[in-house]
Amino acid sequence: MTTQANFFVALQQAMPPNKKAPAIWADGDLTYSWQDLEEATAMLANLLDDLQLPKGSRIAVQVDKSVEAVMLYLATLRAGHVFLPLNTAYQSGEIGYFLENATPAVVVCSPANFGWVSKLAFKNGVERVFTLSDDRQGTLLERAAAMPRTHQAAVVDADTLAVIIYTSGTTGRSKGAMLSHGNITSNAETLKAYWDWQPNDVLIHALPIFHVHGLFVAIHGAMLNGSPMIWMNKFDPKRAIDHMSKGTVFMGVPTLYTRMLAEPGLTEASTKNMRLFVSGSAPMLAETHADWQAATGHAILERYGMSETVMLTSNPCRPDARYNNQAERRGGTVGFPLPGVTLRVVDDDNQPLPADEIGGIQVKGPNVFLGYWQMPEKTAEEFTSDGFFKTGDVGQQAADGYVSIVGRSKDLIISGGYNVYPKEVEERLDELPGVAESAVIGIPHPDFGEAVVAVLVPTGDPVSENDVRAALADRLARFKQPKTVINVPTLPRNAMGKVQKAELRKRYADTFTS
């Protein structure tokens, strides 16, 4: 017999006894109670049941951030289907691939995009396309309104697929990382204990909800603790600081912190109600960590994770008994492997290295994903023979346990917390008339941490940012497009003919900072 391992049930059991209490304070002065969450997720889950979809159907969702979008996520888990969130910046060229690859049974998009999304969906055999806006409009809620307000959660086991998150591939197209109910439950429970969630905690939710940071780490953290959220459909530094008089926990990528640091309203007084600031998804400069502490008196807790593994390491929230009771949140590091996570730093032969030596980071644990959707060979390549997942990050672990990320073996740019794979952008650029070849690199950027720069060899007249923008409009999300295009007569190559990206990064290092 299957033991019920549906993560939705864990969240349901964590709801406070007073169901009338606020669960989410949303934009526009709307308050949702726990009862509202319970009933709305039941109605949406009943709608999914009513569609009589095969077990484990993918529900692909590309909608603007809203509380109802969270309800749809929770309802998908509740009904035992698989949630597939898609970045709202993705264009038709990208969405077409995801729909073809994931073969969802249902697609939910914003009413404004219904025309092109439904066309792509129907072309890919999707039978049902609903709409959902960020102000509670659309056919999804219209259909759900007639559904019963109670629902018995589907019984699933820990290995049942819960969510697919697409991560771009270094070679070829994006890969769908498959996360199970067991993966997300174990990580959420670990973080609840490790970050010392308190009965009076209130989370300020400012991140997008199509990636693991905003969707899992933030929402699961609050809900598994029965804590309410102050909800921001879009991050705004000034409003986020205003919310700190009522909130206690904030989670962000480094760009959110640097933008708030530029606000005169960020002070010890305006943050005195806050208990915890968490940063991750991209490296935080030690300088930003220090500036934040100087401005607010709070040491940001930096942690490290991935779509494939959810959270892997974290600086301590309070003294960590496993590491000599250290409590320091050390800037420039990502802290200790989380309880239950085994982390090793290895050489090129997968042999563990001594403390302080730099090598590839590999991990194992109940949080590590099931594999890439319908890519068994890719999955096999990313695991060692003894079952460790190769993160593609390069780092070191100090003798006292602190892990630092010093680089990446994967060719990846992280811009404002979004991943951009140079290869994908180069392929699109090379298709353009007027471009002979291109090299895409990440250059330090004061706002986004790293920004995408294209160095290209034109066949004739120079190619401008505007040319690229116009040509790639429906093929590539804006955040992946180059912020600057540099025309050169030739690309530097080594003796093997490989483009020397390190040389290019050095040459153009000051593009945004000088």
Which positions lie near ligand AMP, rule CB under 6 A? 167, 211-212, 280-283, 302, 304-307, 334, 391-393, 405, 408, 414, 419
Q: Which does 478 bind (CB under 5 to 8 A by kind): ligand AMP, ligand MLC, none?
A: ligand MLC
Q: Which does 40 bind (CB under 5 to 8 A by kind): ligand AMP, ligand MLC, none?
A: none
The letter for the amino acid at 49 is D
Burial track 442-456 (b if 16+ CB lie within 10 A, e otherwise): bbbbeebbbbbbbbb
Of 176, 214, 283, 371, the one binding ligand MLC by CB under 6 A: 214
Is residue 281 involved in binding ligand MLC (CB under 6 A)?
yes
What residues have CB less than 8 Å from 191, skipping those under 6 apart?
217, 220, 221, 311, 314, 338
Number of other CB atoms surrounding residue 232 within 10 Å = 18
Report the nearest approach of ligand AMP to the CB of residue 419 (Å): 4
DSSP code of 111? Answer: G
Of 83, 195, 336, 418, the one binding ligand MLC by CB under 6 A: 418
Nearer to ligand MLC, 411 or 437 (CB): 411
Q: Which does 243 bind (CB under 5 to 8 A by kind): ligand MLC, ligand AMP, none?
A: none
Q: Which does 208 bind (CB under 5 to 8 A by kind): ligand AMP, ligand MLC, none?
A: ligand MLC
Count of residues that bind ligand MLC according to CB under 6 A: 22
In three-state form (DSSP H/G/I as H, E/B as E, the rest C), the secondary structure along 163-224 is: EEEEECCCCCCCEEEEEEHHHHHHHHHHHHHHCCCCCCCCEEECCCCCCHHHHHHHHHHHHH
Q: Which does 255 bind (CB under 5 to 8 A by kind): ligand MLC, ligand AMP, none?
A: ligand MLC
Q: Which does 391 bind (CB under 5 to 8 A by kind): ligand AMP, ligand MLC, none?
A: ligand AMP
Report the nearest approach of ligand MLC to the CB of residue 87 (Å): 9
Residue pointed to by tokens 């299957």: 2
Of 253, 412, 443, 463, the one binding ligand MLC by CB under 6 A: 253
Considering only residues 472 to 491 of the shown chain, the ones binding ligand MLC according to CB under 6 A are 478-479
How far is the C-alpha of 63 from the C-alpha of 409, rounded, in Å? 33
How far is the C-alpha of 58 from the C-alpha of 85, rounded, in Å? 10
Q: Which residue is nearest to ligand AMP (CB)?
A: 307
Residue pointed to by tokens 């997300």: 184
Q: Which does 119 bind (CB under 5 to 8 A by kind): ligand AMP, ligand MLC, none?
A: none
Nearer to ligand MLC, 337 or 416 (CB): 416
Of 4-12, 262-270, 302-310, 397-405, the window that binds ligand MLC (rule: CB under 6 A) is 302-310
Q: Which residue is nearest to ligand MLC (CB)?
A: 416
Report the nearest approach of ligand MLC to the CB of residue 311 (Å): 7
DSSP letters along 272-299, please?
TT--EEEE-SSPPPHHHHHHHHHHHSPP
Is residue 468 involved in binding ligand MLC (CB under 6 A)?
no
Q: Which does 167 bind (CB under 5 to 8 A by kind): ligand AMP, ligand MLC, none?
A: ligand AMP
245: tokens are 């008089």
- Calculate ∠ Cα 223-225-231, nearest 5°: 40
Q: Which does 313 bind (CB under 5 to 8 A by kind): ligand MLC, ligand AMP, none?
A: none
How far is the C-alpha of 477 from the C-alpha of 435, rounded, in Å? 20
* φ, ψ at 407 (rounded to 5°): 175, -165
- The CA distances from residue 365 to 187, 355, 389, in Å, are 10, 21, 9
Of 94-102, 142-150, 265-273, 301-309, the window that binds ligand MLC (rule: CB under 6 A) is 301-309
Is residue 315 involved in binding ligand MLC (CB under 6 A)?
no
Nearer to ligand AMP, 91 or 167 (CB): 167
What residues have CB less than 8 Å from 175, skipping those under 6 apart?
166, 167, 168, 169, 372, 373, 375, 378
Q: Which does 213 bind (CB under 5 to 8 A by kind): ligand AMP, ligand MLC, none?
A: ligand MLC
Number of other CB atoms surrounding residue 473 within 10 Å = 13
Which stretches of the chain bind ligand MLC, using CB under 6 A? 207-208, 211-214, 234-235, 253, 255, 280-281, 305-307, 415-418, 448, 478-479
